[in-house]
Amino acid sequence: MHYRASHALVFYAEGETGLVGLNYLQNKRFAGKSDIITLLGVMGDWSTPGAIAEALGINDEQLLSVQLNNLADSGIVVREGSDEAELEDAHFSAWKWGAPAALYHHIVQDRPVMSVDEALDKQREKIDTTDQPDAYFVPGAADKKIELPREWCFADYDLGQSMDGRRSVREVTAAPISMEALSDCLRAGFGINGYTQNDAGVRLPLSFTPSGGARNPYDAFVFAETVEGLVPGIYRYAPLSHALVPCGQKSAGFSAMLGGQDWPDRMSCFIVLRADFSRSMWKYDDANAYRVALIEAGHIGQNVMLAATAHSLTACPSAALNHAQLAEDLGHTDDPVKAAVYALGLGHPDQSLAGKENDPKAGQPYSMT
């Protein structure tokens, strides 16, 4: 058997714990003792226990073999031919943005999600113990202010009305949404409305939202439950033909897909943004492109929300994703450069609560952002 140090390790100091090691592909933590650092220093390439023992001056090769297997179980070293070795090979052959971006990308997958009550308790605790930062800029009395028009200045007020009316209403009716509404949401967020060509001769799509280098890293998948004209299932959006392509069934309910929150199961459908980072990696070697790709999800999501509002729908966004489930449902479990990033639930707001959403004195009878 051959072993080598894992290539997905980072080390950092953590309070009284001291040095901590993390395998960010396997999501395993361990104590970063000095003898482990010494061991890893001679295991950059595949080696036998005998060669490792000789390099370290260890006489008991059999005991070292036992220790190496324990270290492999902890994510510190990997066995040749193992699933963990194949995972690393696949990752490092595809991921072009280095360890810092990879570390962030992987450690935010499948994070624990607080319940609403837990989050409220946490906020109450912070209110009692810390100063809350201002949520927006307030000019001082001595600041010179240039007053801007308070009414929308669009030639067509429809956009302004949509912006005024956008709310993330989580209480919705059971009524299905129309195909026309879904169509506009997909077109607004992901539609292609032209092409350009750069100086290198690369043909690039133009869309309704800005994209870093016009690399267009996002695909839309519709998880439909109650949409007129659609059988429940998963559909992939094809922007050039402005069409949906059936691609399977979801493996669990919307709530399980979004971190166990209770509100998603009430939605008619979800639009899931899946990133294919290889599109951006093809052009950009700089890991800053990863940050740009995440920002782009916000551009797309806002357009989807405004289009939904124009159809009197709510579009509730969430990043509390069950990445493992979505990877299975979307068929990218073995692809290290594809990942679900964002999801927006569409539905008809419950009109029995209409009028309260803009009244600050009425409280919040339902979750709204």
CA distances from 362 to 73, 120, 353, 358 (A): 55, 19, 11, 8
DSSP 234: E
Q: Give the other-Cβ count within 10 Å of 273's Cβ.
A: 25
Q: Please give the angle made by the CA atoms of 168, 169 and 171, to the nearest 5 degrees.
A: 155
In tens, the pLDDT along 134-154 reads 655 667 888 776 675 666 555
**DSSP H helical segments within 57-157, as ranges?**
61-73, 83-94, 98-107, 116-129
Q: Do residues 324 and 110 touch, judged by C-beta distance below 8 A?
A: yes
In tens, the pLDDT along 142-190 reads 877 667 566 655 555 577 778 788 888 888 999 999 999 999 999 999 9
How far is it, in rounded angstroms, from Cα 78 to Cα 1?
11
Find the helix or strand (DSSP H, E) in which 190 lies. helix 179-190
pTM to 2 decimal places: 0.73
How far is it, in rounded angstroms, from Cα 307 to Cα 321?
23
CA distances from 37 to 18, 41, 66, 254, 357 (A): 14, 6, 18, 44, 57
**If one looks up domain 158-362 in CATH, what number appears?**
3.40.109.10
In tens, the pLDDT along 12-62 reads 888 877 889 999 999 899 988 888 989 999 999 999 999 999 999 999 999
Domain spans, the chain: 3-94, 158-362
Helix 49-56 / helix 61-73 crossing angle, nearest 10 deg: 110
**If one looks up domain 3-94 in CATH, what number appears?**
3.90.930
DSSP states of 303-365: HHHHHHHHTT-EEEEE----HHHHHHHHT-TT-TTEEEEEEEEEE-B-GGGTTSTT-GGG--S
In tens, the pLDDT along 300-357 reads 999 999 989 988 999 999 999 999 999 999 999 999 999 999 999 999 998 776 544 4
Looking only at Cα atoms, what is the longest distance across the chain?
83
